[in-house]
Amino acid sequence: MTSKRDLTRGVLGTAFLQDNQLIAALRDDSRIDLFDVENDLVHKKLFDLDDFVVKIHGADSHLIAVKKNSVEIVDVTNSLKTLSTYKPSEHFEVFESSQFDTESNVLVVSNDENNAKKKRVEFVDWRTANASILLIDQNTPIGDHVVFTQKREEFAVTTPGGAVRVYDIRTVKNQIYQVSNIGKLRRMTFVNNRMCCITPGDAYKIYTKNECSELKKVEYSYEFPSREDWCLGFLEGNDKSPLFAIHGNQYSYINFSAVDQIEKSKNHSVLRYKALRPNCFSRSSNNKIAVGSLHGQLHLQICNFRSDNLHKEFEKIRDKNTRNRNQQKPKKGEVAAADQRHIAKELNEPKVGVVGKEFSLNNFQISKMLGRGSFGYVQQVESVRTGKKFAMKVLPNTLTDLADRHIVEREILIQAEMQHKNVVPLITTFATSAQVHMIMELMSHSLRQKMISEGALCEKDASWILHDATNGIAFCHLHGVLHRDLKPENIMISDHGTAKIRDFGLSTNTKGLTACGTEQYKAPEIWAHEEQTTSVDMWSLGCIMFEALTKRLTFPQAKTSDMFAAIDSAKVSYPRHLSNISKDLIQKVIVRKAGSRLTASQVLDHTWIQKYQIEKNRGYARELLNEI
* Structural domain includes residue 388: yes
Domain count, the chain: 3
Q: Same domain for 456 and 593?
A: yes
* Structural domain includes residue 425: yes
Closest by CA to 582, choosing from 557, 552, 550, 555, is 550
pLDDT in the model for residue 340: 41
Q: Same domain for 106 and 249?
A: yes
* Structural domain includes residue 308: yes
Q: What is the pTM of this model?
A: 0.56
* Structural domain includes residue 153: no
Domain that holds residue 417: 357-441
* Structural domain includes residue 480: yes
* Structural domain includes residue 54: yes
Q: Same domain for 549 and 485?
A: yes
202 known ligand binder: no
* Catalytic residue status for 485: yes
Q: Same domain for 508 and 605?
A: yes
489 known ligand binder: yes
Q: Same domain for 496 and 557?
A: yes
pLDDT in the model for residue 308: 64
N residues, the chain:
628
How many other CB atoms sit within 10 Å of the CB of residue 317? 19
Q: Name the pairing type of β-strands 164-168 and 269-274.
A: unpaired
324 known ligand binder: no
Residues 6+ apart with CB under 8 A from 293: 10, 11, 275, 276, 277, 278, 279
pLDDT by residue (tens digit) across 126-156? 666 556 888 998 888 898 899 999 887 899 9
pLDDT beyond 80 at 411 = no
Last residue within a domain, chosen from 441, 471, 492:
441
In whole angstroms, give the CA distance from residue 419 to residue 441. Answer: 12
pLDDT in the model for residue 529: 82
Check which CATH number belongs to the domain holding 600 and give it: 1.10.510.10
Q: Same domain for 423 and 464?
A: no
Q: Same domain for 611 and 485?
A: yes
In one-letter notation, the amino acid at residue 451 is M
Catalytic one among 319, 485, 537, 562? 485
Q: Same domain for 522 and 600?
A: yes
In whole angstroms, give the CA distance from residue 521 to residue 536. Answer: 9
Q: Same domain for 96 and 39?
A: yes
Check which CATH number belongs to the domain holding 288 and give it: 2.120.10
Q: Same domain for 319 and 412?
A: no
Burial of 484 (0-12, 13-18, 19+ CB in 10 A): buried
Measured CA to CA in angstroms, residue 499 lies from 223, 404, 446, 585 at distances of: 43, 31, 9, 19
Strand ranges for 240-315 from DSSP E? 243-248, 253-258, 269-274, 280-283, 288-292, 297-302
* Structural domain includes residue 172: no
pLDDT by residue (tens digit) across 521-554? 999 998 888 888 999 999 999 999 999 999 999 9
* Structural domain includes residue 203: no
Alpha helices by DSSP H, 418-494: 447-454, 459-478
Most confident of the ranges 27-31, 188-192, 335-339: 188-192
pLDDT level of residue 348 (50, 70, 90 thresholds): very low
